[in-house]
Amino acid sequence: MDIRYSVHPRDFKRYTTEEVRKEFLVQHLFEADRVKVTYSHVDRMVVFGCMPVQESVSLDKDIDVWGNFGTKFILERRELGLFNVGGAGTVTADGKEYKLGHKDCLYVTMGTQKVVFKSDKAAAPAKFYMVSAPAHKPCQTKLLTLADAKKVPCGSMETANDRVINQFIHPDVLETCQLSMGMTALKPGSVWNTMPAHTHERRMEIYFYFDIPKDNVVFHLLGQPQETRHIVMHNEEAVIGPSWSIHAGAGTSNYTFIWAMGGENKAFTDMDNVANEDLK
């Protein structure tokens, strides 16, 4: 398990490109029949990636659960949200099967002891991108399709940020402890996300970029509003955003990204907006 520690914004100002990428960028999430894990000490959020190809893969396959989480099973004190960004597959949670197509979402409640992933076809494997947050009570495990998500159109073609925010794991859709997740899709011709930028002191955020066309990239902006930096993101990579950092980006093409938040509240509008003229 890759462990990432918290970073003070004062120290972040002195980071090199290599150091910024090492601390915040999460790569190589999908390897055949493995579970890749990155544990962030920022609100103790955990990023998982699993691509089952030739076999069914358990969430705890490559993890020393007690050594890494201090619990008997991973979700003993955690909740989990996941999206399938690959081919069709199945997630089995404590014996109950959930069929997930491309861009379907599943919320898995705290207390679920066994989670297993399987692809329908090895030639077109499922890719399960997951984020887990600490939880304090059981909720309801639930499958959500794109039709179930609350849709919030925003932006415009004139400002190159015409997009739809699809809120899946969100207080208006289902109950969770602290985890919120959704998927934002930019329309062709639009490249900017989350602008004007903002921070939220009471929550952290993780972005996972995908559907980036071949030979294209996304420039993800991070750092304090007056001390911004960037990370060049390639397809199917994630980036950790502390509460003090903006989280926005522009691509060389349109793309889709999954956002995940955890922290003190689930209020989607609890943010400190930053005017474009104040960015540096």
Helix (H) or strand (E) holding 9: helix 9-12
Give the tens place of pLDDT for each residue, 193-220: 998 899 998 899 999 999 999 999 999 9
Q: What is the chain's Cα-based Rg? A: 18
β-strands 89-93, 256-263 pairing:
unpaired
CATH says 2-278 is which class? mainly beta
Which 8-state DSSP code applies to residue 231? Answer: E
Alpha helix positions (H), the chain: 9-12, 17-24, 65-69
What's the mean pLDDT in 266-270?
A: 80
Cα–Cα distance, 172 to 267 (Å, whole number): 10
* 159 and 192 Cβ atoms separated by less than 8 Å: yes
pLDDT for position 148:
96
Q: Is a pLDDT exceeding 90 seen at residue 265? A: no
Of the candidates 181, 209, 197, the one whose C-alpha atom is nearest the C-alpha of residue 245 is 197
The amino acid sitting at 73 is F
- pTM, 2 dp: 0.96
Tokens coding 94:
């404590």
Cα–Cα distance, 127 to 84 (Å, whole number): 5
Tokens coding 268:
């989607």
Give the tens place of pLDDT for each residue, 64-113: 999 999 999 999 999 999 999 999 999 999 999 999 999 999 999 999 99
Q: What percent of the chain has pLDDT over 70?
A: 100
Q: pLDDT-based confidence at 62, cuts 50/70/90?
A: confident
Q: Is a pLDDT exceeding 80 seen at residue 246? A: yes
pLDDT for position 130:
98
pLDDT for position 43:
95
Tokens coding 53:
């190809």
Cα–Cα distance, 99 to 68 (Å, whole number): 29
Tokens coding 240:
């950790």
Cα–Cα distance, 57 to 131 (Å, whole number): 17
Cα–Cα distance, 128 to 279 (Å, whole number): 35
pLDDT for position 108:
98
Of the candidates 20, 80, 179, the one whose C-alpha atom is nearest the C-alpha of residue 4 is 20
pLDDT for position 267:
79
* 222 and 199 Cβ atoms separated by less than 8 Å: no
Cα–Cα distance, 57 to 51 (Å, whole number): 8
Give the tens place of pLDDT for each residue, 119-153: 999 999 999 999 999 999 999 999 999 999 999 99
Cα–Cα distance, 40 to 23 (Å, whole number): 10
Give the tens place of pLDDT for each residue, 161-183: 999 999 999 999 999 999 999 99
Cα–Cα distance, 215 to 12 (Å, whole number): 29
Cα–Cα distance, 261 to 264 (Å, whole number): 10
* 207 and 259 Cβ atoms separated by less than 8 Å: yes
